[in-house]
Amino acid sequence: EAGVAQSPRYKIIEKRQSVAFWCNPISGHATLYWYQQILGQGPKLLIQFQNNGVVDDSQLPKDRFSAERLKGVDSTLKIQPAKLEDSAVYLCASSSQGEGNTIYFGEGSWLTVV
């Protein structure tokens, strides 16, 4: 069974530029999460989708971050304009109710803003 796929793996951009990350969850998983992990800290939830609807986006900085999950499968997380403090790993995860909502993570997208 294929795992959670993310791209790109690494991205370096200048501040005020924009960047987009893509995630393809495990087949059949209705719930998709985007987490931000800053070096030395635990992952922090940015947004949670159930199918193509948003469950929680209370910690998403909506002035610069946006996310969508069209058709309830793939998802895209965008940052525009980027700030230095956005340098982090962006982790996508998915889960299925059938497995007690066990979460599986992708390898992450490493962002450096210079």
Partner 1 sequence: GIQVEQSPPDLILQEGANSTLRCNFSDSVNNLQWFHQNPWGQLINLFYIPSGTKQNGRLSATTVATERYSLLYISSSQTTDSGVYFCAPRSSGGSYIPTFGRGTSLIVHP
Which residues of this protein are in contact with partner 1, per CB under 8 A?
A: 33, 35, 37, 41-45, 48, 55-56, 89, 91, 93, 99-105, 107-108, 110
**Length of the chain, in residues:** 114
Of residues 2 and 41, the one with the C-beta less far from partner 1:
41
Contacts of 114 (CB under 8 A, 6+ apart): 12, 13, 14, 15, 84
Of residues 68 and 99, the one with the C-beta less far from partner 1:
99
Burial class (CB in 10 A: 0-12, 13-18, 19+), 53: exposed
The minimum distance between CB 19 and partner 1, in angstroms, equals 18
Of residues 13 and 89, the one with the C-beta less far from partner 1:
89
